[in-house]
A and B are shown apart, each in its own frame.
Chain A
């Protein structure tokens, strides 16, 4: 991530991710579904009520008695509490709302919940991170722990902290989720993708958030 990309991220008027945040702001206030309620109807003013939320996801969901990611929580709200069609993973509506909510935690430290019911997901995430996968037989750890700072061809290898998701990736020319980013890595390794919203995806996200605990959220980040 060179100086030009960093400068683009810092300037809220040049950061293309902010276009999604702007869209999210409009969606937050728009009544939808059978309920004709907007997010604001229950949650009020997002900069107040959503502050710190993204920093403590994935969390344990009481309703499903399973770990849930932020996007999953938004889908749940839309479908069950607003009576609207559940937004698609990686769809524009969900990305706009997720980026808007996560943006309210910008500059706050990542602090995954210390909930003992998340223990098995944490273990699952840690295991996935160090398991060799794909025809190329790589584990995440081999690149992102052992070789961070090195170069895979022209591409610098980052430490892979999920501080800025959903990110505006210049390669995608669009905003995308962490789970989309997993898909890029896994297809590069010639491994089966982890499906978005699956238990594996949430477990891996939880592991990465644990690993990044204390780092500041920077949503929406800009990346090459």
Chain B
């Protein structure tokens, strides 16, 4: 998997609701499409997306073949403490990509 663009607010106040946006580069190949040779292109999709905030899962999503390529996922969470957000994307073969971002809370 390639890289993802992640947006975490630079600074937030304790208790504030913040929006986190992620854009992952991925073909999200459904497995239903024939290629130029007439054969079906094998399924290659992200199936699970999880975000932990200082170790606690704050958001997770199950993705299906209907989701378009380069999935954009945004969600809100409450800014609690400064620390690390860990994002993971797992595909249908079980390969996982992990990216982290730090968060500063006042």
Contact = CB atoms under 8 A, between A and B. Distances in A.
Asked whether any CB of A lies within 8 Å of a CB of B in the complex, the reply is: yes
Interface in B1-51: 2-3, 5-7, 21, 23, 25, 27-28
Contact of B21 (A14, A19, A22, A170): A14
A16 B7 contact: no
A174 B70 CA distance: 8
Interface in A1-35: 12-16, 18-19, 22-23
B68 interface: yes
10 tightest A-B contacts by CB?
A173-B69, A16-B70, A19-B25, A13-B7, A13-B21, A13-B5, A14-B72, A173-B68, A19-B70, A13-B23
Nearest to B6: A13
A21 to B, nearest CB: 10
9 contacts: A13-B5, A13-B6, A13-B7, A16-B23, A18-B5, A19-B5, A19-B25, A22-B3, A173-B28
Contacts of B23: 13-16, 18-19
Contacts of A174: 69
Nearest to B71: A16
Contacts of B21: 13-14
B98 to A, nearest CB: 17
Contacts of B3: 19, 22-23
B2 A16 contact: no
Given A14-B21, A173-B28, A22 B5 contact: yes
A216 B28 CA distance: 32
B67 to A, nearest CB: 11
B11 to A, nearest CB: 17
A13 B2 CA distance: 15
Contacts of B68: 170, 173
Contact of A19 (B2, B7, B28): B2
A117 B25 CA distance: 41
A23 B2 contact: yes
Contacts of A18: 5, 23
B10 to A, nearest CB: 13
Contacts of B6: 13
